[in-house]
Amino acid sequence: MLSVVVPVFNEQLNIEKFYEEATKAIQNLDMDYELIFVDDGSKDTTPLILSRLTEQDDHVRALILARNFGHQLAITCGMDYAQGDAIITMDGDMQHPPAMIPDLVQKWREGFDVVQTVRKGTDDAGFLKRLTSKWYYILLNALSPVHITPGGSDFRLIDRRVLNTFRLFREHDRFIRGMMGDIGYKQTTIDFVAPRRFAGKSKFSGRKMLHFALDGITAFSKTPLRISFYAGLLSGLLSIVMIVHALYSHLTGTAAPGWTTTTIMVCLVGGLQLIFLGVIGEYIGRIFEEVKQRPLYWLRAELGHKKRP
C-alpha cells in the first residue's frame, strides 16, 4: 500500500488539479493507495473541496487541523496517520510533479528505504532566491555534523521502517530535511526541476523562510553557541590588551583625553554581547517550547475512509 501525504494551506485553486494528476500517476502502479491531504488551517474553500473529494473517492482522506501549525508539522501529522508500506510526502501546488511518483516507487522496490528528490532548479525562481538557497545549504552543512543534501526538498518516499523511526522524533521546531539526513537507512536521490505553481502564490513568505532556515541551523548545530563562546573569549582578550595600553599611556603621560577609543570599544563589546545573547536566546526559546510538552498539533476533523484497521 502507498500513502501520499500532501500538506495544503489556502490551495483551493490547485487541489483538484493535483488530485487528478496524482491519481493518474498512482493508478499505473500495481498497489493500493491512499491520498492524505492535511489542511493547515486554510481560510479559503480548501476544506470544502477536500470534503467533496473524500465523499467521491474512497482513496482520499483529509485531516483538518484546528489552526495553522506550519508546513513541517502538517507533514508530520500526515505521516502519523499514514498507513502505507511506503509513504510519499509532497506539496500540492504542482511544483512537486505527481508524474514522478512511479519513479520514487521504483527506487523503493529496488531496495532503497529513503528516496529523496533533489531540486536542481525552479522555473519561476529568481536569481536572489537561487543564490540565497545555495549559500544557505553551504552554511548549514559547514555548521552541522549532519549532511543535508543541497536542493533537497520535502518531496520524498520513505519505507515503513523509516516512518516508525521518524515517529520517535517529537521535537516541535522541526526541520524534516535534516531529520531524514540524520535518520540513516539506505538512501538514494532523484533529480528534478520544479515547474511553476499551477495557480496562486507561494504561501512561504520571507519571514517564514527565515524562520525555517533558522530552525534548520539550530536544530542540528551547536556551532553558533561555540562561536559565541570563542568570540566572547577573543573580545575579553582584546579588552585586556586595551587596559594594558591605557595603563601604559597613563604611566608614561602620553594619554590624551578623548572618547574615540572608549566609544569604539563600548560599541564593539556591546554589539557582540547583544548578538550572542540573541543566539543564546534562540536556543533557550526552543528549550522553552519543548519543556511545555504540548502536542505537536490537534485536529478539527478527520474525513474519509480508513484503508486499514
Cell numbers representing residue 155 in the block: 518531496
Q: Are 187 and 116 in contact (CB under 8 A)?
A: yes
Whole-angstrom Cα distance, residue 219 to residue 72?
13
Q: Could you tell me which of 269, 275, 217 has the C-alpha nearest to residue 243?
A: 269
Q: Does the pLDDT value for residue 206 go beyond 60?
A: no
Residue 100 main-chain phi, psi, to 5 deg: -85, -10
CATH number for region 2-221+293-304: 3.90.550.10
Which tens digits make up the pLDDT trace of 14-26?
A: 898 999 999 999 9
Residue 60 main-chain phi, psi, to 5 deg: -100, 130
Which tens digits make up the pLDDT trace of 254-274?
A: 656 654 566 666 666 776 776
Whole-angstrom Cα distance, residue 176 to residue 103?
22
Q: What is the pLDDT of residue 77?
A: 92
pTM of the predicted structure, to 2 decimals: 0.68
Q: Does the pLDDT value for residue 105 go beyond 90?
A: yes
Q: How many CB atoms lie within 10 A of CB 136?
A: 17
Instruction: Write the single-letter amino acid at 287.
Output: I
Lateral strand order in the sheet of 187-194: 187-194, 114-122, 152-159, 86-89, 2-8, 33-39, 60-65, 299-304
Question: Which stretch of 108-117, 185-194, 234-243 has the lowest confidence by average pLDDT?
Answer: 234-243
The residues, ordered by sequence, that sit 6+ positions from 134 with a Cβ below 8 Å of its Cβ are 150
Q: Are 36 and 19 in contact (CB under 8 A)?
A: no
Per mean pLDDT, which of 76-90, 142-156, 222-236 is the most reliable?
A: 76-90
Q: What is the pLDDT of residue 34?
A: 93
* CA 137-105-37 angle, 5° bins: 75
Instruction: Write the single-letter amino acid at 96.
Output: H
Q: Does the pLDDT value for residue 63 go beyond 90?
A: yes
Whole-angstrom Cα distance, residue 293 to residue 289?
7
Percent of the chain topping pLDDT 90 = 25
| Mean per-residue pLDDT of the chain | 78
More confident residue, 192 or 167: 167
Q: Are 63 and 39 in contact (CB under 8 A)?
A: yes
